[in-house]
Amino acid sequence: MQEISTKLNEALELLHEKKFSSLRALLSTMEPADLAELLSSLPSEQLPLMFRFLPKELAADTFVEMDSELQQQLISAFSDNELTSLIEDIYLDDAADIVDEMPANVAQRILARASAATRAEINEILKYPKNSAGSIMTTEYVRLRPTMTVAEAFDIIRRTGIDKETVYTCYVTDDKRKLIGVVSALTLLTSEKTALIGDIMSTRVISVKTTDDKEFVAHQLEKYDFLALPVVDSEDRIIGIVTVDDAVDVIIDEYSEDLSIMSAVTPTDKPYLKQSVMRIWIDRIPWLLLLMISATFTGIIIRSFENALAAQVALTAFIPMLMDTGGNSGSQASVSVIRGISLRELEFSNLFQVMWKEFRVSILCGITLSITAFIKIQLVDNLIMKNNISLGVSATVCSTLVLTVVFAKFIGSVLPLCAKKLGFDPAVMASPLVTTILDAVVLLVYFMFATVFLKI
Amino acid sequence: MQEISTKLNEALELLHEKKFSSLRALLSTMEPADLAELLSSLPSEQLPLMFRFLPKELAADTFVEMDSELQQQLISAFSDNELTSLIEDIYLDDAADIVDEMPANVAQRILARASAATRAEINEILKYPKNSAGSIMTTEYVRLRPTMTVAEAFDIIRRTGIDKETVYTCYVTDDKRKLIGVVSALTLLTSEKTALIGDIMSTRVISVKTTDDKEFVAHQLEKYDFLALPVVDSEDRIIGIVTVDDAVDVIIDEYSEDLSIMSAVTPTDKPYLKQSVMRIWIDRIPWLLLLMISATFTGIIIRSFENALAAQVALTAFIPMLMDTGGNSGSQASVSVIRGISLRELEFSNLFQVMWKEFRVSILCGITLSITAFIKIQLVDNLIMKNNISLGVSATVCSTLVLTVVFAKFIGSVLPLCAKKLGFDPAVMASPLVTTILDAVVLLVYFMFATVFLKI
């Protein structure tokens, strides 16, 4: 980060001194992602000026890396010709993303300035549902025919390669555009010039459907260690490809979305430092309010056992410990299951296997905790601190521990699988909402055992 | 998954009927990752038999995808020659991983059977610390000289390409092996055969050091959308490369490790269904015990205010709600910060910015929650449920809410940044351990306000 700000000052100085060729040289040595960072720290009136010093191709790559606010600023400063040239230079999947994120009038201006072919392809990508393979694919890939020779294939790559998102995996189709094979650039390089594509291609083709979930697609790419994965329609015709860089973005987004959901924050793409205080408040407060209000139930339960608590004040001191243990046991189980689902190791059909495993684990954990708690009460609370916890209270606490852990692990492991089955994000089921439910259950179990052991 | 088990049955049948060429053909149509899955469901006595029907190269790729238990089974069934041939066929970074994971005697046997060159390279990779770039790199890459022509470069790729993990980015070095440029296969393909590498290479080189953290390396690959990233030593000499497929694995591991830590489970690589009940118990119980014991503090606090609680039983009913709100507010802040750290948007130098932002957010959240709680107590508890919560208790609850949220967001946002600075995993700071600390703080604040407002 230090380096970027040094380069920024250098660039501003060169701009100020009107040393334009040195400025252009300096900018050319930088990567698009770093340039985007540099441009985002510029005073906004200098942004279009500085951007125009970038070589054409680098400008397009840098534009894609910027956040949508900056992109919008630049677009409004562009002439129609500049806009056309930019749109034709960036990859179609990125162009579709940009059109999708801009306000309607800006999106319309972009589409109006794009060539008819580009416009058609962008619209093709935009018609797929938000989280589908279709929405993250690009339609720029190298398509070969089985009857071509290796030499002909290289001609195609040389002629069109620069506009394709990848040329390192080429897709072989029949007359009807049906995908019948793949051939890697390495295979092409190590084959005879006269060899036929049909003879050297691999027919071991893994593809996804346009309607498949984008997270599934990303994990397929990861599983098979591919650089790109072809996307086909319902008749197996190739429509586009998803490249590994987009798959990585999907995986990172999935990760940060899961994290947000699990800690009761509305997910956002924006970097933390760029979020306003009001925005953060809006993303967090509904959940805090919801959880606070839902904690009313625990309040009601405690109040209805007010007399029991007044008679046995010692019971109150164990409430936080029991609630925390319930919540922790539950989230341990749910995170194991959520992780299994997201790594595609678990699905709904494993429900009974998971339940049986968690049942045995919870019995083991419950008994361990219970014995430890009993020893701790006798040694620490009674012997050392002389709190005189009665055997009845000990029995209540220890029995509650066992049942709580069993129940928490059951809820924690079953809910994510059910959520997945119903089409929800399993991560919701590790959220504090579940902890709140468990709180109420723990208290009910606690007071039930108190009634049994303490006759109150 | 359905498909794999169909193919498994088919394969077993062909094996049984001794139709070996059909079996070989069937297996050849499958991807390594799927084959590994198929082999893992085989009865163990048939594993080496079936494995031997795989074509040589596919066998190597499949072996890499299997888990270490299966790999060990296979190795013990291999003849020395089979082992040599396998080790020479797999990529060096994968070979190093396998050697690293095997028991010492198996590892020694592998190294003894490897060629001297392979053994030296494996040992080179193994000497780097566990989480460094060096430990995930491979030493198989294409190295070119600036004085070569494009035609000569293609000769090298054709001759050695099949043994390199990627040929799509080639690295250009000077006499001293110092990295001076990169050239992509696409550039080679679209350049004249007689052009010099030194003229067409890009000098915009991004590299990482052997000692850099592997998560940093993975995020650099992601940031720049590269297929591979060169790893250099302290004198800028290229030592190896990290490829995008390994970067994706690092990102996924990081993700599932963070999730585990945040929910108090010891991280593991093993698929959920393959973990034994005892193993799961061992991964979970220490944390549950630790957290249960640390909840002793909350018990002590409650006990020392026993008289206050006995005098104002209404106070008890609000304890779960206050504790949950504290925990939730804290984890909201810590997850925002942890996400920022893992996406490389935040570092320790942003500490004061983060504190100031969280302070303002927490004041807003605290006041909103406080007002809502006050209205809820007056309307629901007093008017509808006739619980007669006194103004003193209301004031205690509402004041506690504000201070709790401020304190929780402070702790939640500051601890991850400090953990990062001290070299710990920031995710530890979103763990239930922090919630347990917050529980104690919330109770202390609660009883402090109770003393002020209720004069007890």
CA separation for the pair A179, A171 (Å, rounded): 7
B279 touches chain A (CB under 8 A): no
- Put simply, whether A116 touches B (Cβ < 8 Å) is no
**Mean pLDDT within B258-262:** 84
Q: Which DSSP state fits B455?
A: -
- Is there a contact between A321 and A400 (Cβ–Cβ < 8 Å)? no
**B56 or B148, which is more confident:** B148
Question: Residue A336: which of B280, B289, B238 has the closest Cα?
Answer: B280
Separation in Å, CA of B43 to nearest CA in chain A: 20
Chain A: give the shortest CA distance to residue B419, in Å. 18
Sign, Cα dihedral of A100, A101, A103, A108 = negative
For the record, the structure tokens of A75 come out as 């677009």
Question: Using CA atoms, how far apart are residues A125 and A103, in angstroms rounded to an integer?
Answer: 18
Cβ–Cβ contact A29 with B under 8 A:
yes
Token reading at A440: 């109420």
Tell me the average pLDDT across B199-209. 92
Report the residue from A299, A327, A336 with minimal CB separation from B321: A299
pLDDT at B2: 59
Residue from A381, A385, A336, A339 nearest A361 by CA: A336
pLDDT at res. B454: 86
Distance in Å, alpha carbon of A202 to nearest chain B alpha carbon: 9
Residue type, B407: F
A237: Cβ–Cβ under 8 A, 6 or more apart, which residues? A173, A176, A177, A178, A179
Task: Please report the domains of chain A, with CATH numbers, ordered by start residue.
Answer: 2-132 (1.25.60.10), 136-251 (3.10.580.10), 296-454 (1.10.357.20)
Q: What residues form DSSP beta bridges with B241?
A: B138, B230
Contacts of B117 (CB under 8 A, 6+ apart): none
Residue A277 at interface with chain B, using a CB cutoff of 8 Å: yes
Segment B436-455 mean pLDDT: 90
Strands of the sheet with A228-232, listed across from one edge: A208-209, A228-232, A238-243
Q: Name the DSSP letter for residue A90.
A: S
What pLDDT shows up at residue A2? 59
SS3 A183: strand
Average pLDDT for residues B160-186, to the nearest whole number? 89
pLDDT of residue B314: 82
CA B182 to CA A6: how far, in whole Å? 24
Asked if B336 is an interface residue toward chain A (Cβ–Cβ < 8 A), one would say: yes
Mean pLDDT, residues B208-212 taken together: 92
- H or E segment to which residue B232 belongs: strand B228-232
Backbone CA torsion sign across A377, A383, A388, A390: positive
Cβ-proximal residues to B448 (8 Å cutoff; 6+ apart), any chain:
none
Q: How many CB atoms lie within 10 A of CB A451?
A: 13
Give residue for tokens 């890459």.
B141
Contact B309 A302 (CB under 8 A): no
Sort out which chain B residues have CB atoms less than 8 A from A281's CB and list them: 361, 364-365, 368
Q: Does A192 touch chain B (CB under 8 A)?
A: no
Alpha carbon of A214: minimum distance to chain B alpha carbons (Å): 16
What integer pLDDT is reported at residue B178 of this predicted model? 93
- Average pLDDT of B439-454? 91
Confidence category of residue B49, pLDDT binned at 50, 70, 90: confident
Q: Which of A338-342, B48-52, B357-361 has the highest mean pLDDT?
A: B357-361
Q: Which residues of A touch B291 (CB under 8 A)?
A: 324-325, 328
CB-based burial label for B384 (10 Å; 0-12, 13-18, 19+): exposed
β-partners of residue A182 are A171, A202
Spatial contact of A442 and A450, defined as CB atoms under 8 Å apart: no
List residues bridging with B144 in a β-sheet. B172
In this model, does residue B400 exceed pLDDT 90? yes
Dig out the tokens for A215 from the structure.
Answer: 């997270």
A319: its two tokens: 């409430």
pTM over 0.95: no
Q: pLDDT at residue B1 above 60?
A: no
Query: Is B320 within 8 Å of A319 when comparing Cβ atoms?
Result: yes
Cβ distance A123 to A131 under 8 Å? Answer: no
- Distance in angstroms (rounded) separating the CA atoms of residues B222 and A443: 47
Identify the top-confidence range among B45-54, B362-371, B381-390.
B362-371
Nearest CA in chain A to B311: A310
Task: List, run by run, the mean pLDDT of 10-residue segments along chain A (456 residues).
Answer: 78 88 89 89 86 88 89 89 88 87 87 86 86 88 94 91 85 93 92 93 91 91 91 90 91 86 81 86 88 85 84 85 91 88 86 94 95 92 84 93 95 91 82 83 92 84
* Interface contact flag, A361 B281, Cβ < 8 Å: yes
Chain B residue numbers touching A94 (CB-CB < 8 A): none
CB contact under 8 A, B280 and A380: no
Residue to mutate among B280, B357, B441, with most A CBs inside 10 A, is B280
CA A206/CA A204 separation, integer angstroms: 7
Residue with tokens 């586009």: A240
Arithmetic mean of pLDDT over chain B: 88
Q: How far apart are CA B430 and CA B333, in angstroms?
A: 9
Collect all residues of chain B within an 8 Å Cβ-Cβ radius of residue A265: 332, 335-336
CA–CA distance, A74 with A365 (Å, rounded to integer):
59
Interface size between A and B, measured as CB pairs under 8 A? 344
Residues 6+ apart with CB under 8 A from B351: B414, B417
The stretches of B29-91 forming alpha helices (DSSP H) are 32-40, 47-51, 56-65, 68-77, 80-89
Residue numbers of A between 54 and 93 with CB closer than 8 Å to B: none
Question: Among positive and negative, which fits the CA dihedral A63, A64, A70, A76?
Answer: positive
> Which residue in chain A is spatially nearest to B323 when comparing CA positions?
A320
For a pLDDT cut of 70, what percent of chain B falls above it?
99
Show which of residues 32-51 on chain A sit within 8 Å of chain B, judged by CB atoms. 32-33
Half-sphere exposure of B369 (CA within 13 A, CB side): 37
- What is d(CA B397, CA B66) in angstroms, rounded to the nearest whole number? 56
Instruction: Please report the residues numbered 351 through 410 in chain B whose beta carbons come closer than 8 angstroms to any beta carbon of chain A.
Output: 353-354, 357, 360-361, 364-365, 368-369, 372-373, 376, 380, 387, 405
**How close A105 gets to chain B, by Cα (Å)?**
30
Q: Mean pLDDT across the stretch B323-348?
A: 87
B277 touches chain A (CB under 8 A): yes
Give me the residue label for tokens 């390396």: B217
- C-alpha to C-alpha distance for A172 and A193, rounded to whole angstroms: 17
Give the whole-angstrom CA distance, residue B175 versus residue A378: 74
What confidence category does residue B413 fall into, taking pLDDT thresholds of 50, 70 and 90?
very high
Question: Residue A176 contacts by C-beta under 8 Å, 6 or more apart in sequence?
Answer: A235, A237
Q: Which long-range contacts (CB under 8 A, 24 or more apart) does B10-15 make?
A: B11/B38, B11/B50, B12/B42, B12/B46, B15/B46, B15/B49, B15/B50, B15/B53
CA A328, CA A402: separation in Å to the nearest integer?
14
